[in-house]
Chain A
Amino acid sequence: MILVLGYDQHELGTDPVIDWLLYYGADFVKVSMNDLLSGKIAYEIDVVAGDIYINGRSMQQEVSVIWYRRFYGEEMNLRIEKNMPFAKQLRAEIQYEMHNIVEHLFYIMKGKKWLPYYERTKVNKLVMLEMANRAGLTVPASRVLTSKKELNTFYAQCGESLITKPVKGSDYYEDGKNTYFIFTAPVTRQFIDSLPDHFFPTLFQERAKAEYEIRVFFLDGECFATAVLNANKSREVDRKLNNSKSETHFVPYKLPEEMEIKVRAFMKEAKLNIGCLDIIRDETGRYVFLEVNPLGQYLSESAKCNYYLEKNIAEWLIKHDLQYEQVH
């Protein structure tokens, strides 16, 4: 059986795959964090035996493949009113308690076929850059800096062409009609001059001058690449800000064989069997790796390039489920 770990709510990377699993009549179950909290499903965990029973069925025996699409991150339906005494502490403690229970569930299911492996659902951007470099991919010169003096030196080293972005990423700051977000942004002389002498550790990178950007969806060794073309010289540095503009075009793209080999080597090194990679083809013809997201969104590229990635994911899950059944 296939176990899908997802959100209660609609999630654009999960539901299209569910549609295909339904179409194929696959043996699967979807579980969300709130399913485990709400009493919607009856389950018990035998800690000593290392098994979880859902509606009396042993998941250890029945589950062969686990697709971790989304799990943490959705707001938990905790029945704690905001005005209760110690509400904040209670919420934090209960969430921590639940995370520990789930951590144990992942541990006891560690021998299953995971997509991606549960310990690789979150990756560190800085570690990935180092690994990508080791795998032979070109990566931009990158520094975490804390002072204007160091930043000035790096700015000069990179030909006065730098960008900055969060190491982890940040969420949307929603305030009524306005929402605030931190995108990848160019660093200018004027901006550097406006900074204090010392600041919080911040990531700066050499700005690869993009001829175009490439989004690669990687699934178990196969690369589905999409070139994002925008000839406007005044386009934004962060691709997300260009996506909805009329002059931006998404086209299927074939990476050179040598590049695909390097991508595979990197994903193997990073212990990732799925992920979305951002790559820049720069003006000198180099392919520059920017980052990888194991749980990245793929539906837009899938639709625009006719890749049917959601179908590919469903078929991958079914194939591995059937292989498991044949062996056992």
Chain B
Amino acid sequence: MNKFINHPFLDEESLKSLPVTYRLIRQMNTADVGELYNGARYGSSRRHFSRQFMMQGPYKPLSEVLYQQYIQQPAMKKEDDETTDPLTVK
């Protein structure tokens, strides 16, 4: 749980030489700070760079059509594919 704290690592003398915002510094659980990537990971595969990001549940259903297309030809467009919209199925 996040909470206000009083000067976790700064004494009053140090605070005098800092902007007053440092008096309002907040303490959080490190594992809750997503940007630090220290929470639970779903894997640690070097090949998939799993150590560098964490698992997050999708917000919405994923399109299997899109994934099937991507898996078939990840970096190539079909020659007869005039559309640039990957969600458009011909």
B43 to chain A: closest CB distance in Å? 13
Question: Within 8 Å CB of B29, what residues of A?
Answer: 177-179
A24 within 8 A of B: yes
Residue A165 CB within 8 A of the other chain: yes
**Given known contacts A12-B53, A25-B75, A178-B8, A164 and B30 CB-to-CB distance under 8 angstroms:** no
Q: Complex Cα distance A24/B78, Å?
A: 10
Chain A: CB-nearest residue to B30: A179
Nearest B residue (CB) for A194: B23
Asked if A182 and B84 sit within 8 Å, CB to CB, the answer is: no
Pairs A-B, 3 closest by C-beta atoms: A10-B52, A185-B24, A202-B19
| Closest Cβ neighbor of B35 among chain A residues | A172
- Contact A200-B8, Cβ < 8 Å, known A182-B25, A304-B59: no
> A46 CA to B20 CA in the complex, in Å?
48
Q: Using Cβ atoms and an 8 Å threshold, which residues of chain B touch A181?
A: 25-26, 28, 33
Measured CA separation A315–B21 after assembly (Å): 41
In the complex, the answer to whether B77 meets A24 with C-beta atoms within 8 Å is: yes
Is B42 engaged at the interface, CB distance under 8 Å to the other chain?
Answer: no
Contact A200 B17 (CB under 8 A): yes
Would you call B53 and A199 a contact (CB within 8 A)? no
Q: Which B-chain residue is minimally distant from A20 (CB atoms)?
A: B86
Q: A10-B49, A164-B20, A303-B60 are in contact. Are A172 and B27 (CB under 8 A)?
A: no
Contact B21–A199 (Cβ < 8 Å): no
* Contact sample, A vs B, 26 pairs, CB 8 Å cutoff: A9-B49, A9-B52, A10-B49, A12-B53, A22-B74, A22-B75, A23-B74, A23-B86, A24-B84, A164-B21, A165-B21, A166-B21, A174-B36, A175-B8, A175-B30, A178-B28, A178-B29, A178-B30, A180-B8, A183-B24, A185-B24, A191-B24, A196-B16, A200-B17, A200-B20, A201-B19
Give residues in A with beta carbon < 8 Å to B. 9-10, 12, 22-25, 164-167, 170, 172-183, 185, 191, 194-196, 199-203, 241, 303-304, 306, 315
Complex contact B21–A202 (CB within 8 A)? yes
**By the criterion CB–CB under 8 Å, are A185 and B21 in contact?**
yes
Task: Check A199/B36 contact, CB under 8 A, given A178-B29, A182-B24, A182-B25.
Answer: no
Interface residue total, chain B, C-beta cutoff 8 A: 36
In the bound complex, do residue A199 and residue B74 qualify as a contact, i.e. CB atoms below 8 Å apart? no
Write the B65-77 contact mask toward A (1 if CB under 8 angstroms, else 0). Answer: 0000010001111
Please name 16 further chain A to chain B contacts, defined as beta carbons within 8 Å, in addition to the given A165-B21, A179-B33, A303-B59, sorted by A numbering.
Answer: A9-B52, A10-B49, A23-B70, A23-B74, A166-B21, A173-B9, A175-B9, A177-B29, A177-B30, A179-B28, A182-B25, A185-B21, A200-B17, A202-B19, A202-B21, A303-B60
Q: Could you tell me which B residues sit within 8 Å of A by CB distance?
A: 2, 5, 8-9, 16-31, 33, 35-36, 38, 49, 52-53, 59-60, 70, 74-77, 84, 86
The residue in chain A whose Cβ has the minimal distance to the Cβ of B75 is A22
Residues in A with CB closer than 8 Å to B49 are: 9-10
Total of A-B residue pairs, C-beta within 8 Å: 98
User: Which B residues are in CB contact (< 8 Å) with A174?
Assistant: 30, 36, 38
Among residues of B, the one whose C-beta sits closest to the C-beta of A8 is: B52
B28 touching A180, Cβ below 8 Å: yes
- Is there contact, CB below 8 Å, between A25 and B76? yes
Q: Which residue of B lies closest to A202 (CB)?
A: B19
Query: CA A235 – CA B52 in complex, angstroms?
Result: 31
**In this complex, what residue of B is CB-closest to A201?**
B19
Give the nearest-CB partner of A200 in chain B.
B19
> B75 to chain A: which residues have CB within 8 Å?
22-23, 25
Which residues of A sit under 8 angstroms from B84, Cβ to Cβ? Answer: 24, 315
* Cβ contacts under 8 Å, B53 to chain A: 10, 12
- Of the candidates A196, A201, A241, A306, the one whose C-beta lies within 8 Å of that of B60 is A306
